[in-house]
Amino acid sequence: MASASLQFFAFILALFGVFGDITATLLPNWKVNADVGSNIITAVTQMQGLWMDCTWYSTGMFSCTLKYSVLSLPVYIQAARTTMVLSCILSAFGICITTVGMKCTRLGGDADSKSHACFAGGVCFILAGIFGLVPTSWYTREIISNFLDQTIPESGKHEPGGAVYTGFISAGFLLIAGVIFCTSCFKKQQGAWIYPPKQHHFPSSEEDSNTGYNLKDYV
């Protein structure tokens, strides 16, 4: 019962991780630059994401530009696009597989099949967490290195946006969920290895007949 509750808790974490992963992939605020200027009325907030760049004016105007050209993008943005999409796909697969393998569901067949499905879903979550953690770390490193570079003007420096933090938190949720699913299945298999089922030996009917025959001879 405790293992089923733990799996349900890991499933909830995985759901938050999937939603956060998709949200971080689509949000345009991976890095933010606030340029107040000489007048607060003309303040401008520039945001850059994986798929579009947006500009928000203090007057309420908001405009976005899609990044159509892939080859013109920096390497870290291209890598972030690929890995984040893979993370979303793997996490979605993990949700489907663990739904079948969880103990609180009636899907997946016998206990061994559910255990294998649960383990496979946990591996998907771990891989999704790694694929989500790598681009956010790399992206943050590029932002910090450009911010500390003295040759770059202040107008060209940015800070990490909300999408980066969302990606970090989502990757952490997916990693925790994957470890919980894999550990719960591993404990069950390990218990079966340590305590193998006892085999009861029942004498066959042929042995009984032979024993009776021998006793008759002695009488």
Domain ranges of the chain: 2-26+73-192
Residue with tokens 């992206």: 139
In this structure, are residues 51 and 26 in contact, taking their beta carbons and an 8 Å threshold? yes
Confidence of residue 102 (pLDDT cuts 50, 70, 90): confident
Give dist(CA 186, CA 137) in Å, integer.
30
The model's confidence at residue 154, banded by pLDDT at 50, 70 and 90, is confident
Q: 63 and 177 in contact (C-beta within 8 Å)? A: no
Mean pLDDT of 37-52: 74
Instruction: Find tokens 């401008």 and name the residue.
Output: 44
Q: Alpha-carbon distance 71 to 69, whole Å?
A: 6
CB-based contact 98:122 (threshold 8 Å): yes
Which CATH number describes the domain made up of 2-26+73-192?
Answer: 1.20.140.150
Please state, in angstroms and rounded to a whole number, the distance separating the CA atoms of residues 93 and 120.
10
Whether the predicted pLDDT of 173 surpasses 50: yes
Share of residues in the chain with pLDDT > 90 (%): 45
